[in-house]
Amino acid sequence: MRPGFREAEVGAGVSNLFTLAGVSTQGLIMNRRYTLVEAVKLKAGDEEIVVDVMIRPDSRDHIGGSAGVVEFTGPSGSADEGKTNQVQLMMDFDYNTGSVTCNPVVIPAEDASLTYEFVSAKVAIKFTAKGSDKGRSISHIEQEIKKFEI
C-alpha cells in the first residue's frame, strides 16, 4: 500500500468510506485523484476468491460499463476451474460526504456449477483537508479575440 492511503472493504449497497477507513469527517474530503479499487472478493461455497484489479472512477465519479467488468475463474480443483466468470461493478462515489454506492452483478459462465457471491471491493483512498483543492480539477475559460481587417 502506498504512503498516505487508507483501505476500506466496501460491500454491496451504500457505505461511508470515512467510517470504513476509520477517518474523522471533521475538516476532510476524499481526494478524487487517489481513489482506486484494488481487489474484488467473491465467495463460491466455502471457497474465497480474490481478484486483483486496478480500476479508477471516471470523470463523473462512477465505475461501470466495460471498465467495471472483472473476469475471474472458478477455484482450483473445483468443477469450475478454468471457466471464465464475470462480476460487473457499478459504483458511485461522493467525495465530499464519503458515500459510496456499490451495485455488483455476478455473471457466471454458462456451464458453471458453482454459485458465486460478491463479498466486497477493496478501495484505496486518500483524504485531504477541505479547502486545499488537492485532487480537484479547476478550469478557467479564456477567450482571445483578434481583429482582422480586409
DSSP string computed for 80-109: TBT-EEEEE--EEE-TTT-EEEE--EEE--
> Residue 1 pLDDT > 50, yes or no?
no
Residue ranges covered by each domain of the chain: 6-129
Q: Is pLDDT of 83 > 50?
A: yes
- Which pTM does this prediction carry? 0.80
Mean local confidence (pLDDT), 80-99:
92
C-alpha cell at 58: 471516471
Q: In this structure, are strands 105-107 and 84-88 parallel, antiparallel, or unpaired?
A: antiparallel
Inter-residue contact 61 to 32 (CB < 8 Å) = yes
Cell numbers placing 74:
472458478
The answer to whether 11 touches 120, Cβ cutoff 8 Å, is yes
Given a cut of 60, is residue 54 above it in pLDDT? Answer: yes
Q: How far apart are CA 12 and CA 149, in angstroms?
A: 64
- Average pLDDT across the chain, whole number: 87
C-alpha cell at 107: 455473471
Q: What is the pLDDT of residues 102-118, one digit of tens each?
A: 999 999 999 999 999 99
Q: Tell me, what's the pLDDT at 139?
A: 57
In the predicted structure, residue 87 carries a pLDDT above the cut 80? yes
Of 92 and 25, the one with more pLDDT: 92
Name 86's Cβ contacts closer than 8 Å, sequence gap at least 6: 69, 70, 71, 72, 106, 107
